[in-house]
């Protein structure tokens, strides 16, 4: 872990990454790709030491309130967050200034900040996004080794449901020949149904691989799935998009289940929902006696 002062924290779309790099160890992580020009080892987390101050400066200057997003490139609940609490400090700023929040994670550490998520959601809108990829717990521990498993993430979604906080599940990626099965799709959908999620976000059944990401992924395939790397190379070559041969069937199952259970699965609609700020009006009722 190392610290770095940065010049800005919010993107043009009001997204932010408080950390850079990751310690979750997911075998498929696109953020390892060399196109992102990371100048340090991926597991050596870069801590943006002035993130909280920059966020407050940015929100002070904004004429209109909006949704602030975090977690798209780097999980806001890295292991170092437990002691640093930079994500929590940023949530406090967002809450104090009355902005909305769209936060994405794989970690149950988010429950530590449930008080702030509730407070933000009372004033504006807080959308918690949880990534679920693998219903089988043993397989999940291989694919996403250093973070809580899918079962625990399902429990987190249920807690958010009970707190009245809307949730979206990122059902991506599905790895061809590994977890691209009907059983996996139906298992993940069951978690989503129980938690009454607002939506399931997917870009098709498959994974993307590019330089940096591909090498790490193949190294893990050799370690945990002997012979699978050769199958990938033979089937997909060096393609960036690596679709599941079962894509059409699995997407049909997912759409049917979402339609039956009033779960939004249109990506454009979900991104629109996450970007739309909603200010909630609190009306005090005065009783006359």
Domain of residue 208, CATH code: 3.20.20.70
Asked whether the beta carbons of 34 and 76 are under 8 A apart, the reply is: no
Instruction: Report CA torsion sign: 201, 202, 207, 208.
Output: negative
Distance CA 72, CA 257 (A): 26
Distance CA 192, CA 91 (A): 25
Q: Is residue 105 part of a domain?
A: yes
Q: Is residue 80 part of a domain?
A: yes
CB atoms within 10 A of CB 92: 18
Q: Is residue 286 part of a domain?
A: no
Contacts of 261 (CB under 8 A, 6+ apart): 189, 192, 193
Q: Is residue 283 part of a domain?
A: no
pLDDT at residue 285 in the model: 39
Asked whether the beta carbons of 213 and 28 are under 8 A apart, the reply is: yes
Contacts of 187 (CB under 8 A, 6+ apart): 135, 136
> 195: closest CA among 117, 128, 253?
128
Q: Is residue 285 part of a domain?
A: no
pLDDT at residue 281 in the model: 63
pLDDT at residue 283 in the model: 38
Q: Is residue 227 part of a domain?
A: yes
Q: Is residue 281 part of a domain?
A: no
Domain range for 18 is 2-275
> 50: closest CA among 18, 1, 96, 5?
5
Q: Is residue 287 part of a domain?
A: no
Total domain count for the chain?
1
pLDDT tens track of the chain, all 289 residues?
Answer: 899 989 999 999 999 999 999 999 999 999 999 988 888 899 999 999 999 999 999 999 999 999 999 998 899 999 999 999 999 999 999 999 999 999 999 999 999 999 999 999 999 999 999 999 999 999 999 999 999 999 999 999 999 999 999 999 999 999 999 999 999 999 999 999 999 999 999 999 999 999 999 999 999 999 999 999 999 999 999 999 999 999 999 999 999 999 999 999 999 999 999 999 988 765 333 333 3
């Amino acid at each position: 872990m190392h610290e770095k002062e940065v010049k800005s924290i919010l993107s043009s779309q009001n997204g932010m990454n408080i950390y850079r790099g990751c310690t979750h160890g997911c075998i498929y992580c696109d953020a390892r790709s060399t196109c992102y020009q990371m100048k340090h080892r991926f597991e050596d987390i870069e801590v943006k030491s002035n993130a909280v101050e920059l966020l407050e400066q940015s929100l002070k200057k904004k004429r209109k309130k909006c949704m602030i997003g975090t977690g798209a490139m780097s999980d806001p609940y890295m292991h170092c967050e437990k002691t640093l609490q930079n994500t929590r400090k940023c949530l406090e700023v967002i809450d104090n200034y009355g902005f909305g929040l769209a936060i994405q994670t794989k970690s149950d550490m988010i429950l530590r900040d449930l008080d702030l998520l509730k407070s933000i959601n009372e004033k504006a809108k807080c959308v918690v996004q949880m990534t679920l990829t693998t219903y089988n717990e043993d397989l999940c521990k291989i694919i996403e080794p250093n973070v809580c498993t899918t079962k625990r993430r399902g429990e987190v979604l249920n807690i958010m449901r009970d707190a009245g906080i809307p949730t979206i599940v990122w059902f991506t990626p599905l790895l061809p020949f590994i977890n691209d099965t009907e059983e996996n799709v139906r298992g993940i959908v069951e978690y989503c149904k129980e938690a009454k999620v607002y939506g399931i976000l997917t870009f098709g059944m498959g994974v993307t691989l590019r330089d940096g990401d591909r090498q790490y992924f193949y190294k893990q395939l050799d370690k945990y799935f002997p012979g699978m790397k050769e199958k990938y190379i033979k089937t997909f070559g060096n393609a960036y998009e690596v679709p599941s041969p079962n894509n059409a069937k699995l997407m049909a199952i997912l759409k049917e289940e979402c339609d039956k259970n009033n779960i939004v699965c249109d990506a454009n609609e979900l991104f629109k929902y996450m970007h739309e700020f909603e200010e909630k009006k609190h009306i005090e009722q005065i009783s006359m006696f």
